[in-house]
Structure 1
Amino acid sequence: MPRILAIDLGTKRTGLAVTDPLKILANPLETIETPKLLEYLKAYCSKEEVETLVLGLPIRLNGQDNEMTPRVLAMKEKLEKAFPDKKIELVDERFTSKMAMQSMIAMGSKKKDRREKSGNLDKVSATIILQSYLERQ
């Protein structure tokens, strides 16, 4: 069964999350360097069946674009060209980083683990974006 994959795009690192095959649960997948994102996604989609790519759309509280919005929209265009057979969805990602940090604290993550360069926060943010998308479906 095809999965849904979420992307929390960052300037340096990008967090990824994926559903289980039944599309019930969102799970952290990986944090990768942003320049390697398309290469990673092509490899992943060649191994796993993915029907939808969900991209977190950063916007301000007042609904205006922020400095990352144009980058996300440009990435959406790249994804549409690279994966013409997949649905590409944008999801409001306001508060996901804050929610991810609170979740990690609640789970007992130490300060060092939350700051870890492997991007734990990015993966958790992508998971929250994906879970939000699933709940709206």
Structure 2
Amino acid sequence: MRLMAFDYGTKRIGIAVSDPLQIIATSLTTIHPDEVFTFLKEYLKTEQVETFVVGKPLQLDGTASESAQHVVGFIRKLQKEFPSIKVVEVDERFTSKMASSAIAQSGMRKNKRQSKALIDTVSATIILQSYMESKGF
């Protein structure tokens, strides 16, 4: 079964998934928050997901950031809509910077590298990869 990670934002949600053997994290898509549950219901018709991994926005000192309340609401709705899928939170500090850096080193043209949607999906991939590494996948 797959793992699925979310880099939640009020304008866009970056989504990444693992392969069924949970070895590789891959960017899946970026979607508007209003469309995410419709997207998930369709996705889950054909794919099995064991765990949702949600990036937890923290400040440098470890306290919740201003956007944390939105993430809490998103997690509650995930748990309500998909009660059989475990939800875990992962510290997402620095993932956007890491994503921007990884994209910059990829050799993409500058206008493509600055795409916020691309940064969000790469951030979700980094969140998923860090979760998988922490679990010894």
TM-score (norm 2): 0.95
Q: CA RMSD in A?
A: 0.9
**Offset at 1:33?**
1.0
Counterpart secondary structure, 2:21: coil
Look up the equivalent residue of 1:107 and give its one-letter code: S
Q: Distance in 2 between matches of 1:45 and 1:68?
A: 27
Q: When the two structures are aligned, how many residues end up with a matched partner?
A: 135
Following superposition, the deviation at residue 115 of structure 1 comes to: 2.4
Distance 1:5 1:106 in 2: 25
Q: Which residue of 2 aligns with 1:86?
A: 85
Rounded to whole Å, the distance in 2 between the matches of 1:121 and 1:110 is 14
Distance in 1, Cα, partners of 2:2 & 2:115: 28
Q: Distance in 2 between matches of 1:3 and 1:111?
A: 32
User: Secondary structure of 1:42's partner?
Assistant: helix
2:23 aligns with 24
Does the residue aligned with 2:61 lie in a helix, a strand or coil?
A: coil
1:114 corresponds to 2:113: yes
Structure 2 residue matching 1:5: 3-state secondary structure: strand
The secondary structure found in structure 2 opposite 1:66 is coil
Sequence identity, in percent?
47
Kindly provide the amino acid, as one letter, of the partner of residue 88 in structure 1.
Answer: V
The one-letter code matched in structure 1 to 2:91 is D
Structure 1 distance, partners of 2:76, 2:121, is 22
Q: Give 5+ residue unaligned stretches, structure 2.
A: none
2:63 maps to what in 1?
Answer: 64
CA distance in 1, matches of 2:14, 2:92: 13
* Distance in 2 separating the partners of 1:55 and 1:41: 14
